[in-house]
Structure 1
């Protein structure tokens, strides 16, 4: 012990807590009253649990209400009936865009055979074809020619092409067959194709 500090005082007996004047005396068989701090803790726990249950219940109700509204908004259309498809939704039907009124001529009208002959020296057949672009845009053409014997069977064939022919313009091309063919062979156009040029 230090010389500068006196010893602590001896422990004093604590007075008993007596009930206020006029109050009934507690029963000797009653459980002792819990300390004041414990009563407050129990109240806080009770309020916390009760508040948590209220919040959880409100959350469940909110989620249920949201799911109901979402399921109503994404409901499937009714089964097929005589009514128009858009009738349940009250919307005006959308009409398809009108087709363009400009119609291009058939490619068969653009290509004609102007000559069909057999080379007398080597016996190969050839055809001259005239191409007139009857469409409204620049186009390229693929042209096939079959060479047919007297009985109508194909004895040879050839192809040619025209690239970027302007509207109303014309050109003459020669299509040659490969191999010798009999006399009297004729020519026939096949596999005609017109492809508009890309801008």
Structure 2
């Protein structure tokens, strides 16, 4: 032997277990199963949404009289114009706003009130309308707000007050407050 090389390492002692085989990589299998499972879950969710939308008919809610003005809603007088037209003296803000439709979204179960605003004042005005949604017992379950800006005298605007949150069947709409201010421009 040569002195320039170190001695060889000692031979390992024999193991009582048989030599292990290298583990097979299963990355392809894991990726394939993950993608397939994701597609299956997405298909199931899409089917549930489609079924829910197909079954749900557009909901319609009843409209209640306004608390602040005590005047009936648009649906209380079928065939009549529910909004007072402007006069020489002008109308009260509560008379300028009516609920034309009260609905519940079939997908989210959130309520909405469609409003018709006719400016009964002598000049351009801004409106802020607060609507509450009440259950069959009269308990408030949601509320919404709508704003109309710079509406000229005698002109009409349509706006929606959107309620947030799931509401029960039989929920009704009611205007709780109408604020009208002179428009700044």
Task: Count how many residue pairs are aligned between Structure 1 and Structure 2.
Answer: 98
Residues 10-66 of structure 1: per-residue CA shift (max 9 Å, x gap): xxxxxxxxxxxxxxxxxxxxxxxxxxxxxxxxxxxxxxxxxxxxxxxxxxxxxxxxx
SS at match of 2:94: helix
1:151 aligned residue: 137
The alpha-carbon deviation at position 104 of structure 1 amounts to 2.5
2:114 aligned residue: 128
Aligned mates of 1:177, 1:152 — CA distance in 2 = 16
1:173 aligns with 2:153: no
Structure 1 residue aligned with 2:171, among 185, 195, 199?
Answer: 185
Structure 1 residue ranges (4+ consecutive) displaced by more than 2 angstroms after TM superposition: none
SS at match of 1:164: strand
Higher Cα radius of gyration? 1
Aligned mates of 2:89, 2:154 — CA distance in 1 = 15
Aligned mates of 1:192, 1:142 — CA distance in 2 = 6
Structure 2 residue aligned with 1:162, among 148, 162, 166?
Answer: 148
Aligned mates of 1:182, 1:109 — CA distance in 2 = 29
The alpha-carbon deviation at position 197 of structure 1 amounts to 2.0
Aligned mates of 1:164, 1:173 — CA distance in 2 = 13
Which structure has more relative contact order (CA 8 Å, sep 6+)? It is 2
1:139 aligned residue: 125
Kindly indicate whether the alpha-carbon contact (under 8 Å) linking 2:109 and 2:167 is maintained by their aligned counterparts in 1: yes
Name the Cα RMSD after superposition: 1.3
